Amino acid sequence: MCFLEKIKQLKKVCEKEFELLREITCCFTGHRWQKLPWGENEDDERCVAMKVRLREEIINAINKGYIYFISGMALGFDIMVAEMILELKKEYPQIKLIGALPCKDQYKVWKPYQIERYKKVLAKCDNVRCLYATYQDKCMLERNDYMLNNSSLVIALYNGKGGGTGYTVRNAQKKGLKTIIIEP
Protein backbone atom coordinates (compact mmCIF):
# COMPACT_ATOMS: atom_id res chain seq x y z
CA MET A 1 0.00 0.00 0.00
CA CYS A 2 1.43 3.35 -0.99
CA PHE A 3 1.94 6.23 1.40
CA LEU A 4 -1.03 8.24 0.03
CA GLU A 5 -3.35 5.26 0.46
CA LYS A 6 -2.20 4.91 4.08
CA ILE A 7 -2.89 8.61 4.67
CA LYS A 8 -6.38 8.30 3.16
CA GLN A 9 -7.09 5.27 5.34
CA LEU A 10 -5.86 7.08 8.45
CA LYS A 11 -8.01 10.10 7.57
CA LYS A 12 -11.12 7.88 7.38
CA VAL A 13 -10.33 6.38 10.79
CA CYS A 14 -9.87 9.85 12.31
CA GLU A 15 -13.10 11.13 10.78
CA LYS A 16 -15.01 8.16 12.18
CA GLU A 17 -13.53 8.70 15.64
CA PHE A 18 -14.29 12.43 15.47
CA GLU A 19 -17.93 11.64 14.64
CA LEU A 20 -18.13 9.21 17.55
CA LEU A 21 -16.80 11.89 19.92
CA ARG A 22 -19.26 14.42 18.52
CA GLU A 23 -22.14 12.05 19.30
CA ILE A 24 -21.27 12.08 23.01
CA THR A 25 -20.58 15.82 23.28
CA CYS A 26 -22.98 18.52 24.44
CA CYS A 27 -22.37 22.25 24.35
CA PHE A 28 -24.12 25.17 25.97
CA THR A 29 -25.09 28.64 24.90
CA GLY A 30 -26.82 31.30 26.93
CA HIS A 31 -27.06 34.90 27.87
CA ARG A 32 -24.63 36.95 29.88
CA TRP A 33 -25.66 38.47 33.22
CA GLN A 34 -26.95 41.73 31.77
CA LYS A 35 -29.52 39.93 29.58
CA LEU A 36 -30.84 37.68 32.34
CA PRO A 37 -33.93 38.86 34.24
CA TRP A 38 -32.18 38.13 37.54
CA GLY A 39 -28.87 39.73 36.56
CA GLU A 40 -26.11 38.33 38.76
CA ASN A 41 -28.50 37.40 41.60
CA GLU A 42 -28.32 33.61 41.51
CA ASP A 43 -30.51 33.45 44.63
CA ASP A 44 -33.44 34.86 42.63
CA GLU A 45 -36.18 32.23 42.42
CA ARG A 46 -36.15 32.38 38.60
CA CYS A 47 -32.45 31.56 38.53
CA VAL A 48 -32.89 28.79 41.08
CA ALA A 49 -35.70 27.27 38.96
CA MET A 50 -33.57 27.54 35.82
CA LYS A 51 -30.70 25.74 37.55
CA VAL A 52 -33.03 22.91 38.60
CA ARG A 53 -34.16 22.47 34.99
CA LEU A 54 -30.59 22.77 33.69
CA ARG A 55 -29.38 20.09 36.10
CA GLU A 56 -32.20 17.78 34.97
CA GLU A 57 -31.28 18.31 31.30
CA ILE A 58 -27.59 17.64 31.95
CA ILE A 59 -28.37 14.46 33.91
CA ASN A 60 -30.69 13.34 31.08
CA ALA A 61 -27.80 13.89 28.65
CA ILE A 62 -25.42 11.92 30.87
CA ASN A 63 -27.94 9.08 31.09
CA LYS A 64 -28.10 9.06 27.28
CA GLY A 65 -24.32 8.60 27.08
CA TYR A 66 -23.01 12.16 26.82
CA ILE A 67 -19.59 12.46 28.40
CA TYR A 68 -18.08 15.71 27.09
CA PHE A 69 -19.61 19.08 27.96
CA ILE A 70 -18.34 22.28 26.33
CA SER A 71 -18.77 25.68 27.99
CA GLY A 72 -17.91 28.92 26.20
CA MET A 73 -16.69 30.27 29.58
CA ALA A 74 -18.36 33.69 29.21
CA LEU A 75 -19.94 35.51 32.14
CA GLY A 76 -23.47 34.46 32.98
CA PHE A 77 -24.90 31.15 31.83
CA ASP A 78 -21.59 29.71 30.61
CA ILE A 79 -19.90 30.03 34.00
CA MET A 80 -22.98 28.70 35.84
CA VAL A 81 -23.03 25.68 33.51
CA ALA A 82 -19.33 25.02 33.96
CA GLU A 83 -19.70 25.12 37.75
CA MET A 84 -22.66 22.74 37.53
CA ILE A 85 -20.69 20.27 35.40
CA LEU A 86 -17.85 20.40 37.93
CA GLU A 87 -20.34 19.70 40.73
CA LEU A 88 -21.93 16.82 38.80
CA LYS A 89 -18.49 15.25 38.25
CA LYS A 90 -18.67 14.18 41.90
CA GLU A 91 -21.67 11.96 41.05
CA TYR A 92 -20.64 11.19 37.46
CA PRO A 93 -16.84 10.98 37.43
CA GLN A 94 -16.78 9.93 33.76
CA ILE A 95 -17.94 13.34 32.50
CA LYS A 96 -15.49 15.95 31.26
CA LEU A 97 -15.66 19.74 31.13
CA ILE A 98 -14.13 21.42 28.11
CA GLY A 99 -13.61 25.18 28.17
CA ALA A 100 -13.92 26.83 24.75
CA LEU A 101 -12.28 30.24 24.88
CA PRO A 102 -12.65 32.77 22.09
CA CYS A 103 -9.37 34.37 23.20
CA LYS A 104 -7.00 34.13 26.17
CA ASP A 105 -7.74 37.69 27.26
CA GLN A 106 -11.55 37.55 27.15
CA TYR A 107 -11.70 38.49 30.83
CA LYS A 108 -9.57 41.66 30.63
CA VAL A 109 -12.53 44.05 31.09
CA TRP A 110 -14.29 41.97 33.76
CA LYS A 111 -14.52 42.87 37.43
CA PRO A 112 -12.00 41.29 39.81
CA TYR A 113 -14.57 38.97 41.47
CA GLN A 114 -15.72 37.78 38.02
CA ILE A 115 -12.13 37.08 36.96
CA GLU A 116 -11.51 35.12 40.16
CA ARG A 117 -14.61 32.96 39.60
CA TYR A 118 -13.65 32.40 35.95
CA LYS A 119 -10.08 31.40 36.78
CA LYS A 120 -11.26 28.91 39.45
CA VAL A 121 -13.49 27.20 36.89
CA LEU A 122 -10.90 27.36 34.11
CA ALA A 123 -8.31 25.66 36.36
CA LYS A 124 -10.68 22.70 36.84
CA CYS A 125 -11.51 22.14 33.17
CA ASP A 126 -10.44 18.77 31.82
CA ASN A 127 -9.41 20.42 28.58
CA VAL A 128 -9.33 23.96 27.19
CA ARG A 129 -9.53 25.02 23.55
CA CYS A 130 -8.53 28.63 22.89
CA LEU A 131 -9.04 30.09 19.43
CA TYR A 132 -6.95 33.29 19.65
CA ALA A 133 -4.31 34.80 21.93
CA THR A 134 -6.02 38.20 21.93
CA TYR A 135 -9.48 39.47 21.07
CA GLN A 136 -10.28 39.37 17.35
CA ASP A 137 -13.34 40.58 15.53
CA LYS A 138 -15.97 37.77 15.52
CA CYS A 139 -13.90 35.51 17.80
CA MET A 140 -16.94 35.01 20.07
CA LEU A 141 -19.02 33.77 17.13
CA GLU A 142 -16.16 31.57 15.95
CA ARG A 143 -16.01 30.06 19.45
CA ASN A 144 -19.74 29.33 19.20
CA ASP A 145 -19.23 27.71 15.78
CA TYR A 146 -16.40 25.59 17.21
CA MET A 147 -18.74 24.33 19.94
CA LEU A 148 -21.49 23.48 17.44
CA ASN A 149 -19.08 21.73 15.07
CA ASN A 150 -17.94 19.49 17.91
CA SER A 151 -21.32 18.63 19.48
CA SER A 152 -24.52 16.78 18.73
CA LEU A 153 -26.59 18.35 21.55
CA VAL A 154 -27.02 22.00 22.50
CA ILE A 155 -28.60 23.19 25.74
CA ALA A 156 -29.47 26.87 25.53
CA LEU A 157 -30.69 29.48 27.98
CA TYR A 158 -32.41 31.64 25.40
CA ASN A 159 -34.94 34.48 25.65
CA GLY A 160 -35.85 34.37 21.94
CA LYS A 161 -33.99 37.56 21.08
CA GLY A 162 -30.87 38.12 18.97
CA GLY A 163 -27.24 38.31 19.99
CA GLY A 164 -24.65 35.56 20.19
CA THR A 165 -27.05 33.14 21.82
CA GLY A 166 -29.65 33.68 19.10
CA TYR A 167 -26.96 33.21 16.44
CA THR A 168 -25.85 29.95 18.04
CA VAL A 169 -29.36 28.55 18.51
CA ARG A 170 -30.29 29.33 14.89
CA ASN A 171 -27.07 27.73 13.61
CA ALA A 172 -27.57 24.65 15.79
CA GLN A 173 -31.06 24.19 14.37
CA LYS A 174 -29.82 24.73 10.78
CA LYS A 175 -27.19 22.03 11.36
CA GLY A 176 -29.87 19.68 12.67
CA LEU A 177 -28.39 19.46 16.17
CA LYS A 178 -30.72 18.43 18.96
CA THR A 179 -31.42 21.71 20.74
CA ILE A 180 -33.00 22.10 24.17
CA ILE A 181 -34.10 25.64 24.99
CA ILE A 182 -34.61 26.80 28.56
CA GLU A 183 -36.34 30.15 28.82
CA PRO A 184 -34.94 32.51 31.46
- List, in order, residues 6 or more apart from 93 with CB less than 8 Å away: none
Element (H, E) at 101: strand 96-103
Distance, in Å, from the CA atom of 66 to the CA atom of 125, rounded to the nearest integer, reads 17
Q: Evaluate whether 146 touches 170 at the Cβ level (below 8 Å).
A: no
Q: What is the mean pLDDT of residues 2-21?
A: 72
Range from 35-39, 116-120, 141-145, 159-163 carrying the lowest mean pLDDT: 159-163
Domains and CATH numbers, the chain: 21-182 (3.40.50.450)
Q: Is the pLDDT of residue 46 over 90?
A: yes
Q: What is the mean pLDDT of residues 92-120?
A: 96
Q: What is the pLDDT of residue 18?
A: 67
Q: Say how far residue 16 (Cα) sits from the centre of its chain.
A: 22
How much of the chain, in percent, has pLDDT values that exceed 90? 84
